[in-house]
Amino acid sequence: MISYQDGTFRLDTDHTSYIFRVTKFGHLESIHYGERLQEQSYEALILKQSAEIGSTVKYDASDPLYSLDTMSLEWSGIGKGDYRHSPAEIRMPNGSFVTDFVYSGSQITDGCIPMDTLPSSYSEADDCRTLKITMIDQPSGVLLHLFYTVFAGMDVITRRVVLENGNENPLEIRKLMSMMIDLPSRNFSMVTFKGGWIKEAHRDDCRLHPGLFVNESTTGASSNRSNPGFLLAEQGASESSGRVYGFNLVYSGNHYEGVELSNMGLVRVMSGINPHCFSWTLHKGERFETPETIMTFSSSGFNGMSQNFHDFINGHIVRGIWKGKERPVLLNNWEAHFFSFTQGKLLRLARQAKKLGVELFVLDDGWFGKRNSDTAGLGDYTVNRRKIRCGMPKFAEKINRIGLKFGLWFEPEMVNPDSDLFRAHPEYAVRLPDRDPSLGRNQLVLDLCNPEVRDYIVTSVRGILTEADISYVKWDMNRHMSDMYSPCISDQGEFYHRYIIGLYDILGRIFGDRPQILLETCSSGGNRFDLGMLCYSPQIWASDDTDPIERLAIQRGLSYLYPLSTIGAHVSSAPHQQTLRSTPLSSRFNAASFGCLGYELDLKFVPRLEKREIREQIAFYKEHRNTMQYGKFYRFDALKGNKVHWESVGRDKEEAVAGFYQTQSSASEGFDFLPLAGLDPEKKYTLRTMPRPLYIKRFGALINFILPFHIDPEWFPARMINKLVCLTDCVEEYQGYGRLLEAGVKLNNQFEGSNFNSRTRMLGDFGSNLYIIRHVS
Ligand code: GLA
């Protein structure tokens, strides 16, 4: 996995190699990261320095060809001739910013080396090794430790650094990235996942040209604006082919990813804590550790890269008893009630949910303090007896008696000015001594740098978890930071990072000894969807947007970086609260089922036939849940602009589920193919459409074309008929060996303005189908 020979380090995974060497002056020079290579001389791959390049500064008078600016490096400092962006900006003990770390030694150990302050990947078996390289800045005695952990079977290498002050005088870190690597340019695009509230994780491709490209957040969290995960894809890479590098950071705060194409055609990649408003003082003997960056490479396109990430996250990030465990189908009452509910309403909803097959009932915001709107009550986690008359322990019992597990919402990092907590402890809120704080969603952020605040949160949340039988917690966080200041720290440059360390401390203390609780974190939807949170919460609420057409973009974006077992996805009512779009119930399910399925609507207003459909959906999901949450997931390059194709293949290739989605229909759609991948070429399968109801009302007056007589669709009996009967959309069934099906199944025609019959697919705008592919012996 890791070897060291003649000054060259070689890190191998099953399909990748990562090679670098120590130069004669002690710098680390990158040689290769990409496809796995045979052991041999790497001379051919080493960047050549045979001519003196103009406008460069020579590192040492003894070698006029040695210029750091034109080298491919694993780490670079400031002030010794490399003018690209450095991964470190440190005011050194002598007051200057010049650093020059050179190799001093290395150590290889089995397993991962856990961190003191931050969560990181882990291993339970003997399946990874760690290389620690120590570099020294000679005149100052400051040490830099580079950690490389190799997960061979996952094609993942992780990197992080620790800075250690070996000098008598303090130093000040202004920027310290977790990793840096220089790669040769391959006309890369930097692929990032951008957005905002209700439009998270939209894929954005940006072709590199000379200069620096930055993906970052400054909101205090990993943010809905720019996910910390990003990719570098060579020109022409597709979902199934081409070289793609993936990078992601195990961190939930402000992050920074810089990709710089130099004038010499080298691409410098860095990821780590955002230097924005960051500073950290290290006194003699003190250490600072950066979060861990996860790196992967695949020459099988975006899908290959994503599948590496998925396996790695399921195996080495998500932990505890929910690792690899199927997630329950839940019903969340938020979009059903918002703040307006009573115990009776909740119990009625829970009873109906149970009848449809739901397994977990989640009571969202509004159950505590004076929380009747988002203007009051945050911070006061005492149950509101006007709403929950019997108190939380009894209420949980009632839900359990219905046959459902019980889950509860909290937003522990926040406080409303109109709350008992704020009245008693205004100093708990993040604010400056000499300014009025700015509100976001009528609330302030609690100061997690303050140990007393952390104790308050731990005690109040643990109190409720102890007294009531709670199987699931939704941990929300609904605003960006402002007025960053804590009286508990002397250097306010530490604020953002100390907040995140405080958050991890709280999560560990509350949930560490409650592994049975399924924690789903949330932040106004997907404002904190990152690997740091996944170390505590096995699933994360992806977005407050439950419109399936929007979800196709959001869940697609997240799927590049995160496995489906981590993505919370709900079916809600239509027209959608976020977009006013009306979509078929089947499409809402077909999108949400590629994730951790939940429902979030008032079942009281769901017509009988739709309830039957929901019951069938849940039964289908339970039958195929393992494939949907843990299968090998494939995205397909769009065959047409208005189509989306997904597939999840069971690990044993005994079954697969494929999704075919049409965003907007066009006239005379032409032929549709169903792309498939990942099947066993030696196995014979049947492929069958999941039956889907067609509600008569969707066709309006068109219904008259198939009835022997004409009716007014708004006529009362017509509406009654619509409530009692519905049609089934065309069901197709084919058989074939894996390879035949992967050649592209040709589907029946869509409705083309005429010829409605049982063999015509009635999709229309926002229509979709699921196909189940099963091995037959
Ligand atoms: C946030 C969450 C929602 C819901 C509300 C409750 O917006 O993302 O799912 O929990 O808060 O206030």
pLDDT digit string, tens, across residues 307-317? 999 999 999 99
Q: Distance between CA atoms of 730 and 724, rounded to whole angstroms?
A: 20
The domain boundary, picked from 264, 293, 316, lies at 316
Residue 703: predicted pLDDT: 80
Spot the catalytic one: 12, 100, 364, 544.
Answer: 544
Q: Per the domain annotation, does 148 fall within a domain?
A: yes
CA of 17 to the centre of ligand 1 (A): 44
pLDDT band at 295 (very low <50, low <70, confident <90, very high): very high
Encode pLDDT of 79-132 as tens digits.
999 999 999 999 999 999 999 999 999 999 999 999 999 999 999 998 999 999
Classify 406 in phi/psi space as left (phi over 0), alpha (psi -120 to 50) or beta. Answer: beta
Encode pLDDT of 541-564 as tens digits.
999 999 999 999 999 999 999 999
Residue 716: predicted pLDDT: 84
CA of 523 to the centre of ligand 1 (A): 8
Atom of ligand 1 nearest to the CA of 522: 8
Residue 77: predicted pLDDT: 97
Q: Per the domain annotation, does 54 fall within a domain?
A: yes
Quick check: 753 pLDDT over 90? no
Quick check: 706 pLDDT over 80? no
Encode pLDDT of 419-447 as tens digits.
999 999 999 999 999 999 999 999 999 99
Mean pLDDT of 235-258: 98
Encode pLDDT of 600-640 as tens digits.
999 999 999 999 999 999 999 999 999 999 999 999 998 88
Token readout for 431 is 């604010």
Q: Per the domain annotation, does 673 fall within a domain?
A: yes
Nearest CA owner, ligand 1 atom 11: 524
pLDDT band at 709 (very low <50, low <70, confident <90, very high): confident
Atom of ligand 1 nearest to the CA of 474: 10
pTM score: 0.98
Q: Per the domain annotation, does 648 fall within a domain?
A: yes
Pocket test for ligand 1, best of 199, 200, 332, 334 (most atoms within 8 A of CB): 334
CA of 447 to the centre of ligand 1 (A): 21
CATH code assigned at 753: 2.60.40.1180
CATH code assigned at 223: 2.70.98.60
* 345: Cβ contacts below 8 Å, ≥ 6 apart: 337
pLDDT band at 168 (very low <50, low <70, confident <90, very high): very high
Mean pLDDT of 133-139: 98
Nearest CA owner, ligand 1 atom 7: 524
CA of 183 to the centre of ligand 1 (A): 42
The domain boundary, picked from 263, 294, 316, lies at 316
Pocket test for ligand 1, best of 524, 543, 570 (most atoms within 8 A of CB): 524
Nearest CA owner, ligand 1 atom 12: 365
Atom of ligand 1 nearest to the CA of 523: 8
Residue 181: predicted pLDDT: 98
Q: Per the domain annotation, does 45 fall within a domain?
A: yes
* Widest distance between CA atoms in the chain: 97
Residue 30: predicted pLDDT: 98
The domain boundary, picked from 316, 344, 376, lies at 316
Beta strands in 27-154 (DSSP E): 28-35, 88-91, 101-110, 129-137, 142-151
Backbone angles phi, psi at 441, to 5 degrees: 45, 40
Q: Distance between CA atoms of 432 and 88, rounded to whole angstroms?
A: 29
Nearest CA owner, ligand 1 atom 8: 524
Q: Tell me which residue of 226, 188, 229 sits closest to 210, measured CA to CA.
A: 188
Residue 711: predicted pLDDT: 82
Binning the chain into helix, strand and coil, the percentages to the nearest 5 are 25, 30, 45
Encode pLDDT of 642-680 as tens digits.
999 999 999 999 999 999 999 999 998 899 999 999 999
476 noted as active-site residue: yes
**Beta-sheet pairing, 101-110 with 768-776:** unpaired
60 noted as active-site residue: no
Chain centre distance of CA 355: 32
Q: Per the domain annotation, does 520 fall within a domain?
A: no
CB-defined site of ligand 1, < 6 Å: 334, 364-365, 409, 476, 478, 522, 524-525, 541, 544
Q: Calculate what percentage of the chain has a pLDDT beyond 90.
A: 94
| Domain total of the chain | 2
Q: Per the domain annotation, does 767 fall within a domain?
A: yes
Nearest CA owner, ligand 1 atom 6: 365
Residue 477: predicted pLDDT: 98
Residue 2: predicted pLDDT: 97
Quick check: 340 pLDDT over 80? yes
CA of 525 to the centre of ligand 1 (A): 7
Pocket test for ligand 1, best of 337, 363, 409, 480 (most atoms within 8 A of CB): 409
Domain ranges, residue 252 = 2-62+70-316
CA of 647 to the centre of ligand 1 (A): 30
CA of 239 to the centre of ligand 1 (A): 33
Residue 757: predicted pLDDT: 85
Q: What is the mean pLDDT of the chain?
A: 97
pLDDT band at 150 (very low <50, low <70, confident <90, very high): very high
Pocket test for ligand 1, best of 521, 544, 577 (most atoms within 8 A of CB): 544
Burial of 658 (0-12, 13-18, 19+ CB in 10 A): buried
Residue 697: predicted pLDDT: 87
Q: Per the domain annotation, does 19 fall within a domain?
A: yes
